[in-house]
Amino acid sequence: MQLNPMSFIPIGIIGMLLLYSYYYYATQNKANVSNLWGGIKNPTIRKFYYASMIVAALCFLIMLWYLFKTHSLTKQQTYEIMASLFAIVFVSLFWMPLSLHYIKKKSPLLKWTIIAVLLLIALSALNAVRILKNINETHHKVSKKIALYSMVHFFIHTFFLDTLVWSFNFF
């Protein structure tokens, strides 16, 4: 089954809204944006994070490219992969405003909400990896492997760098 191209529109719209929200919150909270790094002071580590963020974003796009061209998804895989991708971009909308609010008013509820947001993003990425791995690809086998490895990187970034390392240094 091929994904309906229209099914990419909500993810694209929310993805653009996500990018705009990062711009908006960064420009409206200039005094606190650098505090989002928490205890990560080393410029080399920050550069590594930036590079990994860019690669993760490209990996997400690579996976979308594969999904756009494959015809090998089952109906169930189609629903599951789109739900995972939607969850990644939608839930990501909450990270920055919650984190900036936490900087101003620390509370255990905000702390655990932020960790839950990051964990939900990572688990959605892991679910996308699981779905990609189980696609019985017939025509685009190399593209599937590239998409799969791309989402593995995306998961590694969102789980290890964001959920674990960032949280440890932020809180």
* 7, 79 contact by CB (below 8 A): no
Which residues constitute the domain of residue 78? 5-17+41-170
In a domain, 144, yes or no: yes
CATH number at residue 157: 1.20.120
pLDDT of residue 102: 96
Rounded CA separation 30/35 (Å): 10
Rounded CA separation 169/171 (Å): 6
Number of domains in the chain: 1
Q: Is 82 exposed, middle or buried (0-12, 13-18, 19+ CB in 10 A)?
A: buried
In a domain, 36, yes or no: no
pLDDT of residue 5: 78
In a domain, 114, yes or no: yes
In a domain, 30, yes or no: no
In a domain, 93, yes or no: yes
Rounded CA separation 123/120 (Å): 5
Confirm whether pTM is higher than 0.95: no
* Closest by Cα among 135, 140, 151 to 62: 151
Buried b (16+ CB within 10 A) or exposed e, 40-65: beeeeeeeebeebeeebeebbebbbe
Rounded CA separation 63/40 (Å): 30
Tokens of 116: 């839950």
In a domain, 35, yes or no: no
pLDDT in tens for each of the 171 residues of the chain?
777 778 889 999 999 999 999 999 999 998 888 899 999 999 999 999 999 999 999 999 999 999 999 999 999 999 999 999 999 999 999 999 999 999 999 999 999 999 999 999 999 999 999 999 999 998 999 999 999 999 999 999 999 999 999 999 999
pLDDT of residue 8: 86
In a domain, 22, yes or no: no
In a domain, 67, yes or no: yes
pLDDT of residue 138: 87
